[in-house]
Amino acid sequence: MSFIKPNFRHPGLLPNALGFLPSDYEGLLSTLCAGCGHDSIGAAIIQACFELNIEPHRLAKLSGIGCSSKTPAYFLGNSHGFNSVHGRMPSVATGANLANRDLIYLGVSGDGDTASIGMGQFVHLVRRNLNMTYIVMNNGCYGLTKGQDSATADKGSKSKSGNVNVFQNIDLAGLAIELGAGFVARSFSGDKTQLVPLIQAALSHPGFALIDVISPCVTFNNNPGSTKSYDYVRQHIDATATVDFVPPAEAIEVNYADGEELDVTMHDGSQLRMKKLHPGWNPYQKDAAVRALHEASATGEVLTGLIYVNEVQEDLHAMLNTCDKPLNQLTERELLPTIQSLEAINASLR
Amino acid sequence: MQAHPVINDFVVRFANVNGTGSASANNMFAKAIFRMGIPVTPKNIFPSNIQGLPTWYEVRVCEKGYLGRREGIDIMVCVNAQTMKNDIAMLPSGSYFIYDSTKALHREHMREDLHYLGIPLTAITQREYSDPRQRLLFKNIIYIGAMTALIQLDMDILKKIIVEQFQGKEKLIAPNHQALELGNRYARDHFECPLRFRLEPRDLLGDKILFEGNAACALGAIYGGATVAAWYPITPSTSVVDAFGEYAEQFRIDRETGKNHYAILQAEDELAALGVVIGAMWNGARAFTATSGPGLSLMQEFLGLAYFAEVPAVLIDVQRAGPSTGMPTRTQQSDLLSAAYASHGDTKHVLLFPSTPAECFDMTRMAFDLAEQLQTPVMVMSDLDLGMNDHLSEPLQIKAETKFHRGKVLTAQQLENIERFGRYFDIDGDGICYRTLPGTHPTRGMYFTRGSSKDEYASYTERADAYRRNMDRLAKKWETIKTYVPPPETYQPNNCSRDGMAFFGTSCHSAIEARDELNNAGLTLDVLRIRAFPFHAEVVDFMDAHDRIFIVEQNRDGQMRSLLINELGIDPQRLVSILNYDGLPITAQNILQQVLTSAGHQAVTSASMPGVSS
Ligand SMILES: Cc1ncc(C[n+]2csc(CCOP(=O)(O)OP(=O)(O)O)c2C)c(N)n1
Ligand code: SF4
Ligand SMILES: [Mg+2]
């Protein structure tokens, strides 16, 4: 349920505050299978950016390789994009962000791209707290190579061919919390009401923000016995809270009288307004967040919503003490030492 | 009876234990000779170890100005009991062996044909110093001090170097000076000084500098406008980024805010290091990484992406002896093929081959311009010898009003005037297209960068014709690149022989010396130093102008020869490999012998070149 009524009735028709139409945030026609969860996430990204009034050219979208990593072609067609190599989007995003700290960086990856081949880059990205939003389109399998189990497939989950996964799964949300991520959420591609505000909050978070989105692969992993199928997720979803995103201009003080409502104020003054559904969950406490994840996983539930948040962390630029002006805008004037300096160096080498 | 003196033409080798402070003393030795105005070439031969293993420092003094390593040792200073036996065995007849005589030499170490000069280094330091660390360190200074008497190394210059070295730690100056004097006195009191091999001051060096290639590359990156460095530690490239960090602290911190005009990121591995560089250059910042063979292997996939998606990148490869971990602290030129054709599919990359620190500086700077102008990775192919040893070099120079050449990057204004932007249209007919940077214009110039096949508008396509068009344009761009890369260096005004010799990088000095010696032996060779891949038209002309060309390189398989054959279609019979791949820098003697052998000449006798042992 939503607290905030959108200030427009027909999102398809009215422009946002910047004068952009929703179509200005769309991309090419998707070539994914009909019903693929990834397309719903793409649609949520479009809506989130439209509503957040993001200037499309101020955002850069990056991805690795996989069906999921193809999606940046299908949203934000007015933004620069970079479809890199399998599992290596984190490093490319790191370089891009170091070059220009003023843009918004949105990374899209798959569970194979992140939790297997890209695991090394992913964990280091988290610990560097790069200011970006990182969305994993998590279908528990390798869609693009025809359905092999991925490392996020739950132990005991059955694939389309009837094989049961015998390996322990990797929980990317839990891992990210462990590594110090300041914004960790999980969602479901079929739950746009929850996903859109989470994306908006993640984009507003001034550091690394992970959203692990369960996104069923209708072609290879939507069968009975799979824990990443539409049916399974719908039946086992357990939200931490209902979520609404309140942009900065509209944010208001609320009271916590009944202890069930919780506002998370983002860096830019916007708020995530939540109504607690999961007892014991507290997004400000690492232990409680991790415990909630463990409990849900033990009972086969899929815990969604904001799981952990910590707004007071230095991002990579702060840690490296880089200048406020984007590095890619520095010119000869700032970058070139004088000829005299070179003469002095020569003199010191004689 | 004393043989006639040999002035400014000999090799001194120091045998030390790694981690005992010998490095700075030995550097001081070379620097003092440099300041005496005499051409000098120091080389570290060090183990892959932090402390305890043997390490050698070899200094060639050569009045004639030949700067390559020379075989044969005239004076051995051995302060390492572990290696003494071998150090003695390797000496040519008539050379000097200087050692710590605190303990008497074992009989098995005695050779009739050597001159033994014992200095009781341990005993002197025991007597003079109480601190055990000082005892260790001053041993080195004492043998350097002895050199002032033995070979007439200039004491005043040494003392001045010590004063400079200990600025801010003035307390250490006097004891160091004293240690020099101790060595000098002991030598004067006990030996007939000077020895046959000795120094005489000259004025042969003009404004030259003594510098190491890695630091020169780092300065090249500073003056080339690099703002992002991403790397993963690996010998022998680590000191490139270390030096970049030091120079950046000096030149790149905003005085007002105290903030950095640069970012250095130690990545989790070399894949990530190159990924960061690609991301940064895609986004318009100049970025580089430095690595060596194993790292280059890990970067293969990303190099293919940068080639195909046409993203600039700069990579400094300080080559070491492979394959695999090989000999990580020994030199080689053996990454040529894996760099030139890095990655799967049809790929080719721009390589630059510096041969001096000044050229490390110039080529690293140039690499940023080239990478952005050509929109492709550019690799500076240095090596351990060049990177980690001091070399006599021309001074570093930069033109006043230097501008970065950023290549074909469209501004918002230019985008306004374009009807529809297509990232991969060959507007100028040179195969190089126009690119845009993220964030430039609110509604124009966006495109999707990808490693998959695309059409001129950067849209994904699997159409055969579009794929082929793109590949053909990249091939055309490769032709354009040949006109951008530095031409080779020629050393003769006109070709005057049917035989030629081509070399590159650190083989240069020894090759030139060998050329002169071969000339004396009656074999005239035209020579050429290759400075870049793809090959410049002048390289092609040189190959065409000679029937037989010796290709000098420091690897086993003749990788440059393969590139020449592969790229230029040269008859393999015409290209004769001259190889060195033992991990030590190539010598003129080695080149000379191989050329003569293959040319059917009699091997020269050791008399014609010093230091050649039969
Ligand atoms: C280096 C490399 N190895 C293998 C592949 C083949 N490959 C392409 S996509 C993919 C798996 C993608 O899985 P995931 O990230 O989960 O994306 P999904 O297709 O499921 O959305 C693999 C193995 C590749 N492109 N590159
Ligand atoms: S294979 Fe699966 S993941 Fe890929 S597009 Fe089809 S449904 Fe989506
Ligand atoms: Mg997947």
CB-neighbour burial class of residue A208 (10 A; exposed 0-12, middle 13-18, buried 19+): buried
Q: Are B110 and B45 in a shared domain?
A: yes
Q: Which helix (H) or strand (E) holds B119?
A: strand B115-119
Q: How far is B179 from chain A (nearest CA, A)?
A: 24
Are the Cβ atoms of B442 and A55 closer than 8 angstroms? yes
Pair B176, B94 in one domain = yes
The DSSP letter of residue A329 is: G
pLDDT digits (tens, 9 = 90+) for B194-239: 999 999 999 999 999 999 999 999 999 999 999 999 999 999 999 9
Same domain, yes or no, for B235 and B377?
A: yes
B255 plus B302 within the same structural domain:
yes
Ligand found nearest the CA of A145: 1
DSSP letters, A236-297, are: HEEESEEEEEE-GGG------TTS-EEEEE-TTS-EEEEEE-STT--TT-HHHHHHHHHHHH
Contact A169, A152 (CB under 8 A): yes
Min Cα separation B404/chain A (Å): 7
- A220 Cβ closer than 6 Å to some ligand 2 atom: yes
Record: contact B272-A345, CB cut-off 8 A: no
Hey, of A316, A335, A341, A348, which one would you mutate to test binding to chain B, going by the most B CBs within 10 A of its CB? A335
Q: What is the dihedral of CA B577, B581, B582, B588, to 10 degrees?
A: 50
In whole angstroms, give the CA distance from residue B350 to residue B47: 32
Neighbours of B537 (CB within 10 A): 11
Residues B495 and B480 both lie in one domain: no
Q: Is residue B228 located within the same domain as residue B292?
A: yes
Give the pLDDT confidence score for residue B607 in this predicted structure: 40
What mean pLDDT comes out for the span B97-120?
95
> What percentage of residues in chain A have a pLDDT greater than 90?
81
Look at residue A8 in the predicted model and tell me its pLDDT.
Answer: 46
Residues in chain A with CB shorter than 8 Å from the CB of B275 are 84, 88, 90-92, 94-95, 121
Residue nearest to atom 3 of ligand 1 (CA): A86
Question: Do residue B237 and residue B376 come from a single domain?
Answer: yes
Ligand 3 centroid, distance to A148 Cα (angstroms): 9
Gap between the Cα atoms of B552 and B419, Å rounded = 53
Q: Is residue B400 part of a domain?
A: no
pLDDT value for B1: 45
Distance A156 CA to ligand 3 centre (A): 17
Mean pLDDT of B251-273: 98
Strands (DSSP E) found in B222-273: 228-231, 263-266
Q: Are residues B462 and B523 in the same domain?
A: no
Q: What is the CATH number of the domain that holds B177?
A: 3.40.920.10
Burial class (CB in 10 A: 0-12, 13-18, 19+), B60: buried
Residue A253 has pLDDT above 80, yes or no: no
Mind listing the domains of chain A with CATH numbers? 22-320 (3.40.50.970)
Check CB contact under 8 Å for A320 and B264: yes
Interchain CB contact of B219 with A (< 8 Å):
yes
A139 CA: nearest ligand 2 atom: 3
Mean pLDDT of B45-61: 90
Q: Residue B487: count other Cβ atoms within 10 Å of its Cβ.
A: 15
Determine the pLDDT at residue B599. 84
Instruction: Check CB contact under 8 Å for A81 and B260.
Output: no
Label residue A6 by pLDDT band (50, 70, 90): very low
User: In percent, how much of chain A has pLDDT > 70?
Assistant: 93
Residue B407 placed within a domain = no
Q: Which of B484, B504, B535 is the last residue of a domain?
A: B484
Q: Is the CB of A33 under 6 A from ligand 2?
A: yes
Find the ligand nearest to A218 CA.
2
Ligand 1 atom 2, closest CA: A86
> A with B: how many residue pairs have Cβ under 8 Å apart?
220
Q: Is the CB of A229 under 6 A from ligand 2?
A: no
Query: CB of B110 within 8 Å of any CB in chain A?
Result: no
What amino acid is encoded at B41 in this protein? Answer: T
Which pLDDT band holds residue A246 (cuts at 50, 70, 90)?
A: confident
- Indicate if the pLDDT at residue B614 is higher than 50: no
Element (H, E) at B158: helix B155-165
Q: Does B411 touch chain A (CB under 8 A)?
A: no
Q: What is the CATH number of the domain that holds B296?
A: 3.40.50.970
Distance of CA B172 from the midpoint of ligand 3 (Å): 64
Check CB contact of B241 with chain A, cutoff 8 Å: no
Q: Helix or strand or coil: residue B60?
A: strand
Strands (E), chain A: 59-63, 80-83, 104-110, 132-138, 141-142, 148-149, 183-188, 208-214, 237-239, 241-246, 261-265, 271-276, 302-309
Within 8 A of A60 by CB-CB distance, chain B residues are: 283, 438-439
B614, part of any domain: no
Same domain assignment for residues B224 and B356:
yes
Residue B199 burial class via C-beta count within 10 angstroms: exposed 0-12, middle 13-18, buried 19 and up: buried
pLDDT-above-70 percentage for chain B: 97
User: Based on C-alpha coordinates, what's the Rg of chain B?
Assistant: 27
So what's the pLDDT on residue A251? 53
Identify the residue whose C-alpha is closest to ligand 2 atom 2: A217
Closest approach of chain B CAs to the CA of A233, in angstroms? Answer: 33
**Domain residue limits at B379:** 211-393
Q: Which of the pair, A11 or B189, is modelled with greater confidence?
A: B189
Q: How far apart are the first and last CA of chain A?
A: 75
Expressed in angstroms and rounded, the spacing between residue A150 Cα and the centre of ligand 3 is 7
Are B261 and B351 found together in one domain?
Answer: yes
Q: How far apart are CA B49 and CA A297, in angstroms?
A: 48
Count how many residues are written for chain A. 350
**Is the pLDDT assigned to residue B288 strictly greater than 90?**
yes
pLDDT: which is higher, A271 or A346: A346
What local confidence, expressed as pLDDT, does residue B300 receive? 98
Q: Which residues of B touch A332 (CB under 8 A)?
A: 225, 402-404
Same domain, B308 and B331: yes
Q: Which residues line ligand 1 (CB under 6 A)?
A: A 65-68, 86, 110-113, 137, 139, 141-145, 150
- Residue A4 banded pLDDT, cuts 50, 70, 90: very low
pTM: 0.96
pLDDT digits (tens, 9 = 90+) for B538-552: 999 999 999 999 999
Residue B205 maps to a domain: no
**How many structural domains are present in chain B?**
4
Give me the mean pLDDT over the A77-90 stretch: 98
pLDDT 10s digits, A96-120: 999 999 999 999 999 999 999 999 9
Pocket residue to mutate for ligand 1, from A38, A68, A86, most atoms within 8 A of Cβ: A86
In a domain, B405, yes or no: no
Give the pLDDT band (50/70/90) at residue B2: low
For the stretch A190-242, pLDDT in tens is 999 999 999 999 999 999 999 999 999 999 999 999 999 999 999 999 988 88
> CA–CA separation, B539 vs B531, rounded Å?
9
pLDDT at residue number B52: 83
Q: Tell me the chain A residues in contact with residue B251 when contact means C-beta distances shorter than 8 Å.
A: 337, 341
Chain A residue whose CA is closest to B400: A339
**Could you tell me if B246 lies within 8 Å of chain A, comparing CB atoms?**
no
Please check the confidence at residue B68 and state whether its pLDDT lies above 80.
yes
A5, pLDDT greater than 60? no
Establish if B613 belongs to a structural domain.
no
Pick the last residue of a domain from B142, B167, B198.
B198
Instruction: Indicate the residue among B484, B510, B525 that finishes a domain.
Output: B484
- The pLDDT of residue B91: 97
Alpha-carbon distance B26 to B478, whole Å? Answer: 46
Find the CATH number of the domain harbouring B512.
3.40.50.920
Distance CA(B277)–CA(A196), nearest Å, equals 32
Q: Using CB atoms, which residue from A56, A98, A350 is nearest to B228?
A: A98
Which member of B210, B439, B446 has the closest CB to residue A100? B439
The answer to whether the Cβ–Cβ distance between B276 and A60 falls below 8 Å is no
Q: What is the mean pLDDT of residues A174-186?
A: 97
Does the residue B463 lie in any domain?
A: yes
Give the CA count within 13 Å in the CB-facing half-sphere of B438: 34
The verdict on B104 and B22 lying in the same domain is yes
Average pLDDT over residues B297-322: 98
Kindly report, residue by residue over B423-468, the tens digit of the pLDDT. 999 999 999 999 999 999 999 999 999 999 999 999 999 999 999 9
B250 in any annotated domain = yes
